[in-house]
Amino acid sequence: MAIDWQKEVDARKDDLLDDLKELLKVKSEREDDKITADAPFGPGPRDALKHMLSYGERDGFTVKNVDNYAGHIEFGQGDETLGIFGHMDVVPAGDDWETDPYEPVIKDGKLFARGSSDDKGPSLAAYYAMKIIKDLNLPLSKKVRFVVGSDEESGWGDMDHYFEKEKTPDFGFSPDAEFPIINGEKGNVSIRVHIGIGNEGSYTLEKFQGGLRDNMVPTSASAQVKTTTTEQAEAMEIAFNEYVGTTPISGTSIINGTTIIFQVGGKGSHGASPQFGHNAATWLAAFLDNYDFAGGAKNFLHVAAAYVHEDFYGEKLGAAFEDPKMGKLTMNAGIFDFDTDKEDALINLNFRYPQGTSSETLQASINDKIGQYGVTLTEGGHHMLPHYVPQEDPLVKTLLDVYEEHTGEKGEEQIIGGGTYGRLLERGVAFGAMFPGFVDTMHQPNEFIALDDLYKATVIYADAIYRLAK
């Protein structure tokens, strides 16, 4: 049966866009201080999950909400289940947006909003692909289940809970990355560097904060420093202004007597690609490390400046590693916290590592390099091991065939540092929705998805789902 998938998508463009806009209006950032039994990751992720599931109920699918952690939208019959995995939670919007991140705006054929490309837009594309197949009443030999998560950007607690209650699909994909395919993903682990609090120098570091999440390059950082004299503060301000003028960051300072407060702006990027950002926190630490701090304050600043700043591959920490297939390890310093009211300071390092090394090896290497600064290391967050599905697998071959037929471009395997729900399945991959040459704005201000790409992805998903499940 020859099906004109483009025609079917064109007939539903307006509905798809309307549904996506409404979903993007839900501020689905995780808020730990608002967690309840009814909202395990805060009200935003819960509300977005329920909103997405409501589309499935409206359109006549079988729908299940698993305790507001996750849910699924399902149709079809058969012994095997094709799983499609998307997520409704988003990273914090942060600053530097030109528009309201939760009021979707279309400009120059692009839809701007937090979550437009990661992952509400691609999820809606995959959902509408399912809807087309259902609307056309096409025969299937397998079940098709769209699993909707709400904690992908944090600890994956949604999927841990979901799979305690529900059966795992047999194979599938996540529309949360790039075309032509992502059939390999590096390991993902956060190593927390704890450093004691202390100040014995002529300069006192009272506070230092930078970053929002492990998987985001910090776009802003601040520090509060107390000097001995107002002359020291004034001289420090002059030096800071000169420093900012010679670096890729922006910055301001405010003097109040002998106290000076610094604010620095950098450039955000996804934590899997820290080399494309400018880490505001390490640039600020590199400036402050030139001054006479001592004790824990000096250790904190020096580790950040000498061992983390502008090192995206863990070379200064002795953690660098490269695999011929999976490529280089990358490192993102995502969170910095120093406060004299707390017991210790924190630098959170997020590693995307290839097969051949491990968290234990990384920690041993880091301790060898900076153990003399009184640090202790702990593993934090959700540790994901490296994942790979061979090119010869029928799932990979089918998806690449679909991509090639609809784009005219050769489909090749790709391995990334980002982590997607595709790795939840032994035979799981990531498939779209970013096309080659696309400007990646995931986890950055002014995130967008091009409408033409959204519709094109829907066409590809519809054909792919049908071929995999018919």
Question: Which pLDDT score is estimated for 148?
Answer: 98
User: pTM of this prediction?
Assistant: 0.81
pLDDT, one tens digit per residue, over 365-403 is: 999 999 999 999 999 878 999 999 999 999 999 999 999
Place 47 in a pLDDT band, splitting at 50, 70 and 90.
very high
Asked if 111 contacts 205 with a C-beta cutoff of 8 angstroms, the reply is: no
Q: Percentage of residues in the chain with pLDDT exceeding 90?
A: 93
Segment 224-240 mean pLDDT: 97
Q: Does residue 2 have a pLDDT over 90?
A: no
Structural domains of the chain, ranges and CATH numbers in brackets:
5-185+386-469 (3.40.630.10), 188-384 (3.30.70.360)
DSSP result, 448-459: EEEHHHHHHHHH
Q: Is the dihedral of CA 429, 435, 438, 442 positive or negative?
A: negative
Place 304 in a pLDDT band, splitting at 50, 70 and 90.
very high
Question: Which pLDDT score is estimated for 200?
Answer: 81
Question: Which pLDDT score is estimated for 198?
Answer: 87
Segment 317-335 mean pLDDT: 96
Just list the catalytic residues.
89, 152
Distance CA 190, CA 381 (A): 6
Q: Does residue 265 have a pLDDT over 90?
A: yes
Q: Percentage of residues in the chain with pLDDT exceeding 70?
A: 100
Q: Identify the CA nearest to 467 among candidates 141, 20, 35.
A: 141
Q: Does residue 293 have a pLDDT over 90?
A: yes
Category of 238 on φ-ψ map: left (φ > 0), alpha (ψ -120 to 50) or beta: alpha
Question: Which pLDDT score is estimated for 309?
Answer: 98
Segment 428-436 mean pLDDT: 96
Question: Which pLDDT score is estimated for 1?
Answer: 61
Question: Which pLDDT score is estimated for 316?
Answer: 98
Segment 14-24 mean pLDDT: 98
Asked if 146 contacts 130 with a C-beta cutoff of 8 angstroms, the reply is: yes
* H/E segment holding residue 312: none
Averaged pLDDT of the chain: 96
Q: Does residue 283 have a pLDDT over 70?
A: yes
Which one has a higher pLDDT value, 147 or 200? Answer: 147
Segment 160-179 mean pLDDT: 97
